[in-house]
């Protein structure tokens, strides 16, 4: 458990602010949503009383925070090797391999990236989710952003929510795209299959930008930028456009290799064992300095091999 205890006075210049807004100004190391949760739980009192987040303050009120937070240390630390793409005192960027689950969950209590992070830096036990700011799927490779301190986590989660973190992916999709574009289609849980997401009217806003890097005989290599970050967003959007990612068993359906293509090409596409998706670049403002940090990760071997076969078979039937 981590204990947070503060005893402070609301400054006069915050008069007229809502309580949640004033608290966010006074305790910037914590997110407003976290402070609001503590307000609702009665762990924050204003002049000795529990108040609602929307109540306006006058300035001069006494704020007492007394809360214990379950730390991520309840997830077991495990000595799992990590590929560190960037690190300083506040930020860590991991190049996640294919097959590594990000968070413990049903059927994956151990052997996850969170287990590995807690072993890599024990202080991450005091940061929500061991500092992980976002996630990618088990069978997607590439970069993940980790905050090493609570203030850094709050700042980076805020950047993510305000769409200030640039996330660039590379993927190989079925079909030959004529050019780049933007997919803007809301995403929600699939109405029949709870393991899947789907484009649904009334779902959460989802925007995906893409451009063509190379066209092949039956596929296209694309660069993708996420404006939003919904679960399975890239996979769902490209499937919705009838260009699912190569190797995507959940959203790809049956084999889409056109008849008549040579066997080498067919085998390379149909046998690819996971969604052909890689988180290639992250760009964000450093939570301490405000300077832009840009981190890149090269394509993993399986994707490079796939692209080489696709390129070699451009004009072979």
Residues forming the active site: 137
Separation of alpha carbons 95 and 104, rounded Å: 18
Q: How many CA within 13 A on the CB side of residue 193?
A: 6
Query: DSSP of 15-34, one letter per residue?
Result: TTSBHHHHHHHH-TTS-HHH
CA distance 307 to 40: 52
C-alpha to C-alpha distances, 259 to 88, 164, 223, 253, nearest whole angstrom: 52, 44, 27, 16
Query: How far apart are alpha carbons 226 and 144 in whole angstroms?
Result: 14
In contact, 89 and 148? CB cutoff 8 Å: yes
Question: CA nearest 237: which of 291, 313, 163, 171?
Answer: 171
According to DSSP, the residues that pair with 220 across neighbouring strands are 173, 215
Nearest residue to 145 via CA among 293, 303, 299: 293
Rounded-to-10 torsion of CA 149, 155, 157, 162: -170
Asked if residues 103 and 129 have their Cβ atoms less than 8 Å apart, the reply is yes
Q: How far apart are CA 294 and CA 278, in angstroms?
A: 16
């Amino acid at each position: 458990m981590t204990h947070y205890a503060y005893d402070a006075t609301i400054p006069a210049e915050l008069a007229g602010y809502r309580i949640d807004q004033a608290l966010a100004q006074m305790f910037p190391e914590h997110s407003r949503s976290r402070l609001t949760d503590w307000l609702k739980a009665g762990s924050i009192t204003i002049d000795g009383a529990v108040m609602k987040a929307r109540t306006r303050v006058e300035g001069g009120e006494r704020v007492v925070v007394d809360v214990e937070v379950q730390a991520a240390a309840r997830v077991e630390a495990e000595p799992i090797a990590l590929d560190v793409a960037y690190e300083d005192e506040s930020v860590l960027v991991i190049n996640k391999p294919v097959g590594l689950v990000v968070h413990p969950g049903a059927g994956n209590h151990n052997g996850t990236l969170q287990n590995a992070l807690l072993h890599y830096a024990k202080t991450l036990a005091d940061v929500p989710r061991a500092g992980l700011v976002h996630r990618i799927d088990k069978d997607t490779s590439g970069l993940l952003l980790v905050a090493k301190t609570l203030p850094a986590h709050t700042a980076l989660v805020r950047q993510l929510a305000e769409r200030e973190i640039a996330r660039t992916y590379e993927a190989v999709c079925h079909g030959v795209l004529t050019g780049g574009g933007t997919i803007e289609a809301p995403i929600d849980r699939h109405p029949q299959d709870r393991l899947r997401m789907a484009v649904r009217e009334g779902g959460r806003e989802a925007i995906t930008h893409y451009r063509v890097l190379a066209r092949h005989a039956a596929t296209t290599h694309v660069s993708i930028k996420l404006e939003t970050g919904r679960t399975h967003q890239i996979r769902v959007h490209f499937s919705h456009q009838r260009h699912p990612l190569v190797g995507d068993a959940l959203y790809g359906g049956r084999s889409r290799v056109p008849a008549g293509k040579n066997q080498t090409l067919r085998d390379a596409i149909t046998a690819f064992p996971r969604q052909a998706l890689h988180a290639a670049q992250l760009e964000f403002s450093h939570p301490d300095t405000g300077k832009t940090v840009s981190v890149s990760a090269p394509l993993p071997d399986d994707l490079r091999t796939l692209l080489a076969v696709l390129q070699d078979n451009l004009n072979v039937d």
